[in-house]
Amino acid sequence: MEERQHDLVVIGAGPGGYVAAIRAAQLGLDTACIEKASALGGTCLRVGCIPSKALLEASHKYQEAVTGLKKYGVLVGEVSLDLARMMKHKDKTVTTLTRGVAGLFKKNGITGYKGLGRLAGPGVVEVDGDTPMRLKAKHILIATGSEVTSLPGIELDGDRIGTSTEALSYPEVPQHLVMIGAGVIGLELGSVWRRLGARVTVLEYQDRILPGMDAETAKLAQRMLKKQGLEFHLGARVTGARVEGDSCVVEAEGLEPIQCDLVLVAVGRKPNTEGLALEAVGLETDSRGRIAVDEHYATAVPGIYAIGDVIAGPMLAHKAEEEGIACVERIVTGYGHVNYDAIPSVVYTHPEIASVGKTEEELKEAGVAYNKGVFPFIANGRAKAVGETEGQAKILADATTDRVLGVHVIGAHAGDLIAEAAVAIEFGASSEDIARSSHAHPTLAEALKEAAFAVDDRAIHS
C-alpha cells in the first residue's frame, strides 16, 4: 500500500471537513481530505441544506403561481407542475456546488482522496478506496458528520418508507404523505410536498412542534403551517410503519392506523462513525454515538480532533464550519473559538422561522430576568407592501443590563434578518444598540429595530 505524509488529514468533506481543510491550507498546512462519497460537500450539499432549499424555493414559486399572485394583480393562465424539471434544477444546483468544492480544493492545494477513511493507529489513517493509501499525519480531524436514522419498529425500505434523502427525490407527488417527527427537516420537506399538492399528515411525539425552539414562536409556526394545509397530530408516538400492498400503514399511540402512500421518517440524525475504526486508537463514543472532545475539539487521543455533526451540539452546517475553522486555527496559531450563544438556526418554511441565543423557556429555567420586545410584521410597511404580513420579531434582553440574550423571528426572510441579531449577540450588544442603529426604510429589518424599541415599551408603529 502506498504511504504518504501530510500535516493534517481531514476525514469527511462536509461543511465541517472541507471548510477546515481550506482554512488549514490557507494557514500553510500540507492538508489532505478523504471523502467516501462520489461528490464533495457532505450531507449539506448532497442531500441536505442545498437540495432542500432548491426544492423549497421552487415549490414556493409553484404555489405562488397557483394561488398567490392574484392579490398582486398578476393573473396567470393554467399552471402545471413539471416535477422532473424541478428535480433537475435541484440536481444541477447540487452538482454545481459540489464541483465548486472540488475547485476550491484545487485552488488551495488540498490533496483529495476518494475512499473510506479508517484510523489505523495514532497519526495514521488508511484510505479504503480504488487506490488504497496509508497516510501519516501529525494532526487528524474527524469530520464524518451524521446519517439518517429511524425508529425501532420501522424499517426503512428506501422506497415507500424513507427519510429526507428519499423525500428530496420522490419521482411523483404523493397523494398522502405521513411524516414522522415535526422537527426542522420534516417541516421543510413536508412543506415542499404539501405545496406541490400532497396531503401531508404530521405525527409528533411531543406536545409541540420544533422542540427546542422558542415555544411561542413554534406555536405561531404551527398555526401558519396548519393554515397551509399540514395536518398535525401532537402527542402521537409512532410505534410502527409498514408497507401493505400498494400503500403504507402507520401506527401511533392514541390514533387509528393511518393509511398513506409514502412515509417520511424525520426523527433526527445520528453521528456517523461507521467504518472509522475508532477502536484502533482507543476512542469511544458516548451513549448517543458522538465523539467526545474538549473546548478545542481535541479527542482523548493526542493529535486527533473532531468537529461538526459527529460531536455534541446542534446539527447545523454553519456550526460545523465554525468548529472546523476554530479547530485548525487553534492547531496552527494557538487561538480559535466558537461562540455557541451566537449560532443562528433557521427553518426555511414559509414564512421562515429563525432564532439565535436563548429561548424564553431557557431564560426562565436559568432564573434570568429579562425584558421582551415583540413587533408584528403586519405593522411593518415593507411587509405590507410585499404582502408578507404574517409573523413577528421578538427580542429578549437582560432585565438589568439590557444585553440581547435571544432573538426569535417568524416571518418572510427571517433567515436573513437573523444575521443582524447574531452579530448583535456576538458583539454583546444591548437592545438599545439595535434600537439606535439606523435601519433602512422600508425594510423588513425595521421589524427588529421596532422589537428593540418594544423591549422598552416604545415601539413607534404599534
Q: Interface with ligand FAD includes 11 (CB under 6 A)? A: yes
Between strands 345-347 and 238-244, the pairing is unpaired
Shortest distance (Å) from residue 368 CB to ligand AMP: 25
DSSP, residue by residue, 387-445: T---EEEEEEEETTT-BEEEEEEEETTHHHHHHHHHHHHHTT-BHHHHHHS---TT-TT
Binding mask 224-263 for ligand FAD (x = CB under 6 A): ----------------------------------------
Choice between 146 and 201, CB closer to ligand FAD: 146
Q: Which of residues 342-401 bind ligand FAD (CB under 6 A)?
A: 348
Total number of residues that touch ligand FAD (CB under 6 A): 37
Q: Tell me the C-alpha distance between 455 and 375, whole Å.
A: 10
Cβ-proximal residues to 4 (8 Å cutoff; 6+ apart), any chain: 32, 111, 133, 134, 135, 136
Q: Is 441 a catalytic residue?
A: yes
Partner whose footprint covers residue 271, from ligand AMP, ligand FAD, none (CB < 5 to 8 Å by kind)? none
354 binds, among ligand AMP, ligand FAD, none (CB under 5 to 8 A by kind): none
Distance of CA 6 to CAs 25, 119, 132, 135, 370, Å?
11, 15, 16, 7, 51
- Rounded CA-CA distance 30/238 in Å is 49
Does the footprint of ligand AMP cover residue 204 (CB under 6 A)?
A: yes
Angstrom distance (rounded) from CA 214 to CA 384: 25
Tell the smallest beta-carbon distance from residue 43 to ligand FAD (Å). Answer: 4
Within a 10 A sphere around the Cβ of 9, how many other Cβ atoms? Answer: 29
**Least distance from C-beta 345 to ligand AMP, angstroms?**
10
Which H helix or E strand runs over 320? helix 317-333
* Contacting ligand AMP within 157-186 (CB under 6 A): 180-185
Tell me how far, at minimum, the Cβ of 15 lies from ligand FAD, in Å: 5
- Identify the CA nearest to 403 among candidates 341, 313, 324: 341
205 sits near ligand AMP (criterion: CB under 6 A): yes
**Which among ligand FAD, ligand AMP, none contacts residue 117 (Cβ within 5 to 8 A by kind)?**
ligand FAD
Contact string 109-138 vs ligand FAD (x = CB under 6 A): -------xx---------------------
Angle formed by the axes of helices 184-195 and 215-227, to 10°? Answer: 20
- Cell triple for residue 2? 502506498
Q: Would you name the residues annotated as active-site residues?
A: 441
**Residues engaged in binding ligand FAD (CB under 6 A):** 11-17, 34-37, 42-44, 47-49, 52, 116-117, 143-146, 164, 185, 272, 275-276, 308-309, 315-318, 320, 348
**Residues engaged in binding ligand AMP (CB under 6 A):** 151, 180-185, 203-206, 211, 237-238, 266-268
